[in-house]
Amino acid sequence: MYGLEQAPQQRQELRQYQLQRLEILAMSGDELNDFLDQAEAENPLIEVERDRSEIEKELSLARWLDRQPSFETSYKPSDTDGDEPMEPEIVDPQETTLEQYLRLQIDFSQLSYARNRMISFLLGSLEDNGRLLVTSEQAVSCCRGTAADADFCLELLRKLEPAGVCAGSLEECLLAQLRALPKRDPVAERLVETCLASVAGSSVNRLARKCAAKDFQIEAALELLRGLDPFPGSSFYRPSQVYVIPDVLASPSDGGWTVQLCDKWSGSVHLSQYYIQLLRNSSDKENTAYLYDRLRQAKALMTAIEQRRSTLLRLSEFIVEHQKDFFGNAAVRCSR
């Protein structure tokens, strides 16, 4: 009788786990993130680890800078402009996108078709905060241009206003703003280049030793840094617009495409070693039964998440391979 009673219960648990796998597979990244938070709160054996080191570094530095992004309308003509200087056009950031504002500063008639197309691709790849994480190699691969064209276009975009826009990292963004000042501050530039990550938590004396500078120079440099904008494109951001975090990223690589999951925000699930040890050493039957039940749930969740990752990756690789002609020509079509 005991064995007969167990079979229906096992089948019921199997069906529950199968349904859970299907539900997790159908979740978006945001939904999975919330689901894992709830699972971690309800099950003591579940620990969710998220890799937010880079974004947390930038957010902590932005909080340290303690400055809301401002909007500048000034424009300095470059050496490639015509004889007549351009008058700055007053643009309302609430009615203009960052891409449109940058386009206003570029005379496309002076660019070749290949560079015009690459500029369009790069501007379309800008993040809301003004950061440009696309490399010159990726631009060459997507636009089928040359390395010289990519270098020219990147240099051109990084000279535009607001200063620091189109930088590839926070360090590059702040350095561009420092170098655009009427009077250069070598100590502030050295501070950004060598120990930016530690400026928020280090003493003036320690920073002075790292940068081979005097205390008063570091204090002046820190004050200068607090006046910079870590996110120069944020004033053009529309909070009312909702953006979906993609589950998968496809990026050009060696003439083809590399597919990778974009799930670091959802995090990875681990078993709590504290409760595992507690389970091994527990002599209380009720506690042992409770922890074993939570352990089965945690393992089932880990299996479901891994199956979701594997399924998404295999499907995405198939789609990219099947649509390789579309991905290869996407940049060209978008720029025309």
**190-215 pLDDT, tens per residue?**
888 888 877 766 777 888 888 888 88
Whether 236 is in a domain gets the answer no
Which tokens in the block code for residue 271?
A: 């078993």
Rounded CA-CA distance 328/336 in Å is 15
Higher-confidence residue of 108 and 5: namely 108
Strand-pair category, 256-261 with 46-49: unpaired
Strand-pair category, 256-261 with 248-253: antiparallel
Report which secondary-structure segment, H or E, holds 250.
Answer: strand 248-253
Rounded CA-CA distance 14/292 in Å is 16
Looking at 134, 161, 188, the residue that finishes a domain is 161
The helix/strand/coil state of 107 is coil
Number of folded domains that form the chain? 3
The answer to whether the bond into 162 is cis (omega within 30° of 0) is yes
Residue 237 has pLDDT above 70, yes or no: no
Contact 235, 69 (CB under 8 A): yes
* pLDDT score recorded for residue 106: 83
Q: Are residues 84 and 136 in the same domain?
A: yes
Q: Are residues 61 and 47 in the same domain?
A: no
| Nearest CA among 184, 187, 190, 181 for reference residue 218 | 187
**b (16+ CB within 10 A) / e for 1-21:** eeeeeeeeeeeeeeeebeebb
Q: Are residues 284 and 135 in the same domain?
A: no
Which tokens in the block code for residue 316?
A: 């995405």
Q: Are residues 177 and 59 in the same domain?
A: yes
Share of the chain above pLDDT 90, in %: 3
Residue 135 has pLDDT above 70, yes or no: yes
Residue 4 has pLDDT above 70, yes or no: no
Whether 237 is in a domain gets the answer no
Q: Are residues 106 and 154 in the same domain?
A: yes
Looking at 206, 231, 256, the residue that finishes a domain is 231
Strand-pair category, 268-271 with 46-49: antiparallel
Q: Are residues 256 and 328 in the same domain?
A: yes
Q: Are residues 138 and 60 in the same domain?
A: no
- Region 155-184: mean pLDDT is 89
Round the average pLDDT of the chain to a whole number and report it. Answer: 76
- Region 102-107: mean pLDDT is 83
- Of the pLDDT bands very low, low, confident and very high (cuts 50, 70, 90), residue 61 is low
Whether 9 is in a domain gets the answer yes
Rounded CA-CA distance 144/8 in Å is 61
Whether 240 is in a domain gets the answer no
Alpha-carbon distances, residue 182 vs 67, 72, 161, 178, 179 (angstroms): 21, 16, 15, 9, 8
Q: Are residues 103 and 122 in the same domain?
A: yes
What's this model's pTM, rounded to 2 decimal places?
0.49
Listed in sequence order, the residues at least 6 apart from 277 whose beta carbon sits closer than 8 Å to its beta carbon are none
- Region 306-313: mean pLDDT is 89
* Domain, as residue range, for 39: 2-51+245-335
Other beta carbons less than 10 A from residue 311's beta carbon:
12
Q: Are residues 62 and 194 in the same domain?
A: yes
Q: Are residues 142 and 181 in the same domain?
A: no
Q: Are residues 122 and 10 in the same domain?
A: no
Rounded CA-CA distance 134/125 in Å is 7
Whether 305 is in a domain gets the answer yes
Rounded CA-CA distance 32/269 in Å is 12
Looking at 231, 257, 285, the residue that finishes a domain is 231
Q: Are residues 96 and 125 in the same domain?
A: yes
